[in-house]
Amino acid sequence: MSSAHSTPPALLDLSTYLLSRIGKAARGRLADRLAQRGLRLWDMAVLAALSDFGPHAQRDLVVRLGVDPSDMAKVVDQLATGGYVERARDPEDRRRVSVSLAPAGRDLLAELDAEARAVQDELLAPLDPEERARLQGLLLRVHQGLG
Amino acid sequence: MSSAHSTPPALLDLSTYLLSRIGKAARGRLADRLAQRGLRLWDMAVLAALSDFGPHAQRDLVVRLGVDPSDMAKVVDQLATGGYVERARDPEDRRRVSVSLAPAGRDLLAELDAEARAVQDELLAPLDPEERARLQGLLLRVHQGLG
DNA sequence: TCCTATAGTGGGTGCGCACCTACTATTCTT
DNA sequence: AAGAATAGTAGGTGCGCACCCACTATAGGA
């Protein structure tokens, strides 16, 4: 992949390029670890949303995470098959499926979070803790601006 | 896409996630601009390499940029068709094709660089110039560590 | 009640990217 | 001169991702 060797300075001077490259490495490494468990990035995002905000109608997960409804159906189905989330028809509107985090899902999320932090340690190895915190703060603000 | 709205804090707390997300946005926006000219990211990388380091044997471009030789052939072919680079058989080793930047390629690279900086302005809008410089410095060091 | 809108689902499409194989032309080795 | 190695090329494959369409079930409004 990105053969460390002598990347053109014209590219290294562009934050756009660095973000693209580093982001790809981050995504790739995390995806690899999730793949070993038969999971993809969206699985983790769904678990995190359920953990942070409680049960969601499937439709609300779609809105929150910005995924196609059809794709979300597949993700939730897989998570339910694995016993990580529970699906239940909403009695007040039987079109809706309420999705909630199962205990196994909470455990899984903790493990995935640890995987993500391991990737982080690899990736941010050149930075000391203070610098990592500064980077995190800057990235957070950039992310907020993404709209 | 990443619907700014209420991303799970468990994810926002992970630099891995932020890098992945922001990197994807950076890549996507730049790729869109290049696509309007019928170009892809590798085209820009090749132009930058030629500009920064002078003519390359095609094989050396492959090594420097870490691309598959077969894919590089296609990129160079497209750039040559557009008049942005020139191909010449190396007389000392007629297997080799020496690739060099044509004047039109230098102009194009300048425009693409401007496009990249425009994306940068969009993306890093929440940061002031000093913060952008700090981010750039941190990213550069992280990139160096990618190996 | 009829008509429209909404929630979820199954199946399929197109694109970009990385990768691989087979092949030709040329050079190097012995 | 023969065989192995190298540079480049044409074409094809598999994967992940985003997206779209058709369909069922349910609910809400006129």
What mean pLDDT value characterizes chain A?
Answer: 95
Cα dist from B39 to B25, B76, B108, whole Å:
18, 12, 11
Q: What is the structure's pLDDT at B65? A: 96
A52 contacts A61 by C-beta, under 8 angstroms: no
Chain A's closest residue to B10, CA to CA, is A48
Q: What is the structure's pLDDT at B6? A: 85
Q: What is the structure's pLDDT at A147? A: 76
Residue B3 pLDDT > 50: no
**Pairing assessment for the beta strands A56-57 and A97-101 based on DSSP bridges:** antiparallel
All residue ranges of chain A with pLDDT < 70 are 1-5
> Environment class of residue B102 by beta-carbon count within 10 Å: exposed (0-12), middle (13-18) or buried (19+)?
middle
In terms of phi and psi (left: phi > 0; alpha: psi -120 to 50; beta: otherwise), the region of A102 is: beta
Q: What is the structure's pLDDT at B147? A: 76
User: What digits encode the pLDDT tens for the residues A18-58?
Assistant: 999 999 999 999 999 999 999 999 999 999 999 999 999 99
Residue B126: which of A14, A53, A142 has the nearest Cβ?
A: A142
A110 contacts A81 by C-beta, under 8 angstroms: no
User: What digits encode the pLDDT tens for the residues B47-75?
Assistant: 999 999 999 999 999 999 999 999 999 99
Residue B22 pLDDT > 90: yes
Cα dist from B47 to A55, A88, B56, whole Å:
50, 55, 11
Q: What is the structure's pLDDT at A6? A: 85
Rounded to the nearest angstrom, the minimum Cα separation between B93 and chain A is 24
DSSP-derived 3-state class of residue A122: helix
CA–CA distance, A128 with B67 (Å, rounded to integer): 32
Mean pLDDT of B102-119: 97
CA–CA distance, A98 with A86 (Å, rounded to integer): 8
CA–CA distance, B138 with B133 (Å, rounded to integer): 9
| Residues 58-87 of A, Cβ under 7 A from nucleic strand D | 67-68, 70-71
